[in-house]
Amino acid sequence: MNKIIEMEFFSENVAKIVLEAPDIANSRKAGHFVIIRLDEKGERIPLTIADGDKDKGTITIVVQKVGASSAKLLACKVGDHILDVVGPLGHATKIENYGTVLCAGGGVGVAPLMPIVKSLKEAGNRIITVLAGRSKDLIIMEEDMRRYSDEIVIMTDDGSYGKQGLVTAGMEEIIRREKVDKAVIIGPAIMMKFGSLTTKKYNIPTEVSLNTIMVDGTGMCGACRVSIGGKTKFVCVDGPEFNAFDVDWDQMMMRMGAYKTEEHTAYEKYLNTVQENA
Amino acid sequence: MENIADYIREGRKDDWRLELRKSMKAKERTSLERVQMPEQDAVERSHNSIEVNLGIAEQMAVAESLRCLDCAQPTCTTGCPVGINIPKFIKKIEAGDFLGAAATIKETNALPAVCGRVCPQEKQCELSCFYTDKLNLPPIAIGHLERFAADYERNSGKMAIPNVAESNGKKVAVVGSGPSGLAAAGDLAKLGYDVTVFEALHEIGGVLKYGIPEFRLPNDIVDVEIENMRRMGVKFHTDFIVGKTASFELLREQGFRAFFVGSGAGLPRFMNIPGENFNGIFSSNEYLTRVNLMKAAHEDYDTPVLSGKNVAVIGGGNTAMDSVRTAKRLGADRAMIIYRRSLEEMPARKEEVHHAMAEGIEFMNLHNPVEYFADASGRVNKMRAQKMELGEPDASGRRRPIIIEGSEFDIDVDTVVVAVGVSPNPIVPSSLKDLKMSEWGTIIVNKENMQSSIPDIFAGGDIVRGGATVILAMGDGRQAAAGIHNYIQQKVKAS
């Protein structure tokens, strides 16, 4: 049982949740994720750890409402308990002094990017961060990011905040302006695909963190398998970070849609129960 | 384990045993017929998840126990990896002391109701039974009797816990709560250790929970055995991955003096053929975990599972049988086994194959998939298979399957479950730099005491064997518990 200590809504559909998880807080590093199960009937959902506090024994996750399970999670209140939280899972991010690192985060992908930016900064890198979202309310954690970035560029599709344009436009502007030694891109699969096509054009080594469907998160089931450089890898134990240029994005996106129908039905059902209880 | 023979011999000269032996002539005993396990109707059961085997009634158990000759040199016991005193528990049943029979089993077996259901007795105790060995008659139904004794005790409301030595306050960690971990924990608790079992998943039981389906091993039965271990003082910690949530080093600092690693073979193998990553193609681990652990087939549980009308399960082991019979229960019209050798070489238990056939499972033996195709959304819709024939025996002693060139044909499928084996789970080994591993990723141990290359770490079950049975894992767990006991005693003496 893990108590919810704090909840902060960035927008109607995105919230930061601070959870009691002392063991995980103690051992987690940038790049790690957890699997949570809200209640007895809940599914196991992988979520990357956005932050942690060893002294307080807490970890932070950021959740976006995309279906029934995330909606139930966002309907929780401070003081509620999450039945299961297990981790930290996956390999931690390899942190080195690369020189100048371009960090691009899209939507809630900014949350897992946060500890990586922090660690890279602490390792002496110059950090240029691009935050992207459809509109202003989907740009999250700007203040936190600003603290660890030497420069920050904000891109919105509709131009409601920062510059108007896609994440790739913001990235390309920087790459053309100065020498970039490394890129880290985290966000929706489609954003990582096009972001890494951009860095590939300029031969900038690029890491991405994949967020595939998982069940156990410990290598046991293979639900998260993706094709990396033509070989099948498990995101949970081989990743979640991979060389972006090796990822078969189309296969990954196809696999992420495996339960589209079921997810839709579950969400409809959830909305109905919420309405009935209201 | 050297005094198993003494343990088995002890008590054979007790008056009650002598009397029972005298009460009936051996010839009369051997002329009795072996009991038949009652089963749920095949058509009915292929649509529900209730247990297939219904268990034997009291009078059937007593009748079966009469067949046992209480041999002077019992051979059945040599076939039992956990060293159950088989003649003694069977004679207790003959004497009508069913609780005594259960207590006898529990002296050496932490999970009697589980083993009575899933052990391959035909390859172990029953294979070495005097009836099989010398009389060429069906063996004593040792497995059915074990299940009977365990079930009788559970239903009696008088569950006894084995004798537990006074606590010695020494902490031992067990990593993984599957059969090997539970067996090790049980023995260590009996010896007085302060045992904590760490489990990565949210449920205790490992493969007994996520792998073996309800219709073969109901979860409630596993839970009762686990509850019993709690009563023996064993502590359980779910959602905890040793090597991740906390390092071995940190646990040592917290006072754990030794570790038993039974983290299992949780890394599914795929065949690496084209199209294998299409949607609707699962490892058996994923398919069974969604259904068994996450209860995907229950309307009110959130986890979904894709299970269609034409389901092909690749493989011929027990896990393949569990998967294909699960598919049938989830509503498949065609549930098929695709196996590259013939029925004769099939590694699954005969009972499971027989049950599957009765339930209408199609067996496409001597077939092998070569490629999968999908619809526009990426959902698998076709499997290309080729036909095989058998050649000379290979290293496993089974005849090698050979491809029949030009025999490819397509089968309509909407769901595929790949059950071609598992590899050892990499999480624990990768957290220990100095741990000696084999080239297959299994932990190398001293076979005598199950000690690894790191002195305070012992291991057993599939992480050492690479894929075996519940009972062999349990045997390892028991052996490791004895090894850990020795190790800690020597450490104490030395200090």
Q: Specify the DSSP class assigned to residue B44.
A: H
Please compute the mean of the pLDDT values over residues A42-49 and round it to a whole number: 94
d(CA B186, CA B181): 9
Handedness of CA A33, A38, A40, A42 (dihedral sign): negative
Only one residue has tokens 């767990």, namely B477
B18-40 per-position pLDDT tens digit: 999 999 999 999 999 999 999 99
Query: What are the φ/ψ torsions at residue B460 (nearest 5 degrees)?
Result: -170, 175
pLDDT confidence of B199, banded at 50, 70, 90? Answer: very high
Partners of residue A240 in chain B, C-beta under 8 Å: none
- Asked if pLDDT for residue A274 goes beyond 80, the answer is no
Asked whether the predicted pLDDT for residue A239 surpasses 70, the reply is yes
Q: Identify the residue with better confidence: B467 or B338.
A: B338
> Which DSSP helix (H) or strand (E) runs through B402?
strand B399-403
The predicted-structure confidence for A145-177, as pLDDT tens digits, reads as follows 999 999 999 999 999 999 999 999 999 999 999
Mean of pLDDT over chain B: 94
Strand-strand pairing, A151-156 and A126-133: parallel
CB of B438 closer than 8 Å to CB of B465: no
> DSSP characters for A199-243?
HHHTT--EEEE-----SSSSSSS-TTEEEETTEEEEHHHH-SEEE
Interface check B377 vs A, CB under 8 A: yes
Pick from A34, A220, A235 the residue to mutate for testing the B interface (most B CBs within 10 Å). A220
Q: What are phi and psi of B318, to 5 degrees?
A: -60, -35
**Which of B453, B459, B463, B466 has its CA nearest to residue B481?**
B459
Segment B112-125, tens digit of pLDDT: 999 999 999 999 99
Number of helical H runs and strand E runs in chain A:
9, 16
Residue B398 is predicted with a pLDDT of 82
What type of residue is B399? R
Lowest mean pLDDT among A220-229, B42-51, B394-403, B413-422: B394-403
pLDDT exceeds 90 at position B201: yes
Which class for B450: exposed (0-12), middle (13-18), buried (19 or more C-beta within 10 A)?
buried
Q: Which helix (H) or strand (E) holds B288?
A: helix B284-288
Say if B254 is an interface residue toward chain A (CB within 8 Å). Answer: no
Nearest to B70 by CA among B23, B121, B6: B23
Q: How confident is the model at residue A237 (pLDDT cuts 50, 70, 90)?
A: very high
Domain boundaries along the sequence of chain B: 2-156, 171-265+424-494, 268-422
Query: What is the full DSSP assignment across B204-258?
Result: TTTHHHHTS-TTTS-HHHHHHHHHHHHHTT-EEE-S--BTTTB-HHHHHHTTEEE
What is the value of pTM for the model shown? Answer: 0.93
Contact state of B282 with A255 under an 8 Å Cβ cutoff: no
Contact B294 A43 (CB under 8 A): yes
Specify the DSSP class assigned to residue A245.
Answer: G
Task: Please provide the DSSP assignment of B109-123 as one string.
Answer: -S-HHHHHHHS-GGG
Write down the CATH number for the domain with range B171-265+424-494.
3.50.50.60
Region for residue A145 given its phi and psi (left: phi exceeds 0; alpha: psi -120 to 50; beta: otherwise): alpha
DSSP H/E element including B131: none
pLDDT, tens digit, 9 for 90 and up, residues B378-437: 999 999 999 999 998 888 788 899 999 999 999 999 999 999 999 888 888 888 989 999
User: In this structure, how many other beta carbons lie within 10 angstroms of the beta carbon of residue B27?
Assistant: 7
- Check residue B1 and give its pLDDT: 43
Q: What is the CATH number of domain B268-422?
A: 3.50.50.60
Please answer yes or no on whether A232 and B285 come within 8 Å at the CB atom.
no
In tens, the pLDDT along A85-125 reads: 999 999 999 999 999 999 999 989 999 999 999 999 999 99
| Cβ density class B149-163: b for 16+ within 10 Å, e for less | bbbbbbeeeebebbe
Say whether B268-422 and B2-156 share the same fold: no
Q: Measured between beta carbons, which residues in chain A are less than 8 angstroms from residue B251?
A: none
B267 DSSP β-pair partners: B423
| Pairing label, strands B256-261, B457-459 | parallel
Assess whether pLDDT exceeds 80 at residue A254.
yes
Q: What is the pLDDT of residue B2?
A: 47
Q: Are B168 and B188 in contact (CB under 8 A)?
A: no
Answer whether A216 sits within 8 Å of B200, measured CB to CB. Answer: yes
- At A278, the pLDDT band (50, 70, 90 cuts) reads low
Q: Is the domain B2-156 a CATH 1.10.1660.10 member?
A: no
Interface of A with B (CB under 8 A): 23-24, 26-27, 37, 41-44, 68-69, 83-89, 215-216, 218-223, 225-227, 232, 234, 237, 251, 254-255, 257-259, 262-263, 266
Q: What is the mean pLDDT of residues B367-388?
A: 97
In angstroms, the CA A221 to CA B287 distance is 8
> What does DSSP say about strands B281-283 and B457-459: parallel, antiparallel, or unpaired?
unpaired
Contacts of A226 (CB under 8 A, 6+ apart): A210, A212, A232, A233, A235, A242, A247, A248, A251, A252, A255, B277
- List the end-to-end C-alpha distance of chain A, in Å, as a whole number: 27
| pLDDT tens, position by position, B233-265 | 999 999 999 999 999 999 999 999 999 999 998
Please report, for residues A217, B202, B290, B292, B344, the alpha-carbon distance to residue A44 in angstroms, rounded to integers and kept in the order given: 9, 10, 10, 14, 40
